């Protein structure tokens, strides 16, 4: 299958590279994100999968068993970028010496805690050195594996165990970090933001482009967590759709420095539509907190206008 070609039936019938039987929660966006990304590998290509410590790692790997059909490396929270860099370098050396055959791709996964925060230094270094690999952040907006503590990916006013809502607190006070833009400023070949939508075309095509673009590539995937976001497990696709339609999570890519907007809603929905289904924002809809929603909307609007400017500038 060539890059940018997409056939839903053909894609969904590809062999799974993440085997069933893992222990991820029902309704978890991380699992769906991983399966979607790995489907973009072409038939016959092998992969080495790295995985920073987190929900995904502890639920798909219990020594000596792993749910991955490809080679797998468990990394500490802080060094997924460094580890996959070393493996990719070793592969190139061995191939040059004729000691290894076949085409290998290098993909590493990390949650927002292990990517936005603890692993940012090694990720930044790997991106700056432009190793030929793909880093995929499954962004569920908190440290979910250890009890839903806030991370720098946690949105403003979210209720977490370290920013609990109460008489003296309205949740996390800071805006979320815009990591995709930060990585784009490393001047790497390809950066994209995506999530789980409809027929999975957006995440598939961006994953395929990232995997088969030479150099360091980064995918930021909004991957809702039913436990931390407090929504019914069956509503995950609707949560993702609302994230896009409210412009909280816009779909874009930065291809060799060119900013490209992939989707612009015909009618941008108010941010309340995204916040209301999530229990972590329940307090925002209490009488007297209208100003908090207005502030949230203002920040979404500001970032959306900034993105529109970047994309229009590069047309």
Domain ranges of the chain: 8-313
Q: Report pLDDT for 118.
A: 96
- Which residues face 259 on adjacent strands? 254
Rounded CA-CA distance 262/41 in Å is 22
Q: Beta partners for 51?
A: 74, 109
How far is it, in rounded angstroms, from Cα 71 to Cα 68? Answer: 7
Q: How far is CA 245 from the centre of its chain?
A: 18
Q: What local confidence, expressed as pLDDT, does residue 4 receive? A: 57
- ∠ CA 38-40-42, nearest 5°, is 105
Q: Tell how strand 104-111 and strand 134-139 pair up.
A: parallel
Task: Compute CA 196 distance to the chain's CA centroid, rounded to the nearest angstrom.
Answer: 10
Task: Please provide the average confidence, as pLDDT, over all residues in the chain.
Answer: 95
Residues of the chain with pLDDT under 50: 1-2
Q: Give the fold, CATH level 3, of 8-313.
A: Rossmann fold (3.40.50)
pLDDT of residue 1: 42
Q: What is the dihedral of CA 277, 274, 284, 286, to 10 degrees?
A: -50
What CA–CA distances, in Å, run from 49 to 34, 58, 71?
A: 11, 14, 6
pLDDT at 3: 59
């Amino acid at each position: 299958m060539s890059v940018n070609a997409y056939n839903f039936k053909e894609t969904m019938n590809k062999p799974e590279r993440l085997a069933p039987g893992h222990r991820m929660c029902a309704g978890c966006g991380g699992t769906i994100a991983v399966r979607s990304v790995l489907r973009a590998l072409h038939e016959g290509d092998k992969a080495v999968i790295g995985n920073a410590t987190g929900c995904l790692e502890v639920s798909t790997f219990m020594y000596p068993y792993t749910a991955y059909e490809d080679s797998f490396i468990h990394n500490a929270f802080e060094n997924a970028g460094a580890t996959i860099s070393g493996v990719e370098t070793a592969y190139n050396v061995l191939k040059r010496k004729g000691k290894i055959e076949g085409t290998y791709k290098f993909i590493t996964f990390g949650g927002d805690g292990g990517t936005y925060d603890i692993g940012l230094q090694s990720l930044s270094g790997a991106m700056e050195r432009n190793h030929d690999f793909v880093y995929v952040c499954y962004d569920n907006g908190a440290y979910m594996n250890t009890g839903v503590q806030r991370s720098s990916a946690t949105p403003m006013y979210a209720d977490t165990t370290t920013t609990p809502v109460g008489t003296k607190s309205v949740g996390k006070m800071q805006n979320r970090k815009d990591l995709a833009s930060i990585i784009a400023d490393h001047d790497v070949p390809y950066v994209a933001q995506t999530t789980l939508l409809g027929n999975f075309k957006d995440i598939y095509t961006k994953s395929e482009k990232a995997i088969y673009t030479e150099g360091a590539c980064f995918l930021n995937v909004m991957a809702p967590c039913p436990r931390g976001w407090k929504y019914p497990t069956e509503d995950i696709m609707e949560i993702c759709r609302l994230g896009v339609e409210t412009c909280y999570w816009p779909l874009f890519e930065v291809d060799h420095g060119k900013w490209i907007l992939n989707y612009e809603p015909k009618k941008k929905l108010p941010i309340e539509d995204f916040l209301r289904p999530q229990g972590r924002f329940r307090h925002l809809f209490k009488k007297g907190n209208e100003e908090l929603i207005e502030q949230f909307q203002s920040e979404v609007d500001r970032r959306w206008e900034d993105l529109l400017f970047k994309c229009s500038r590069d047309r």
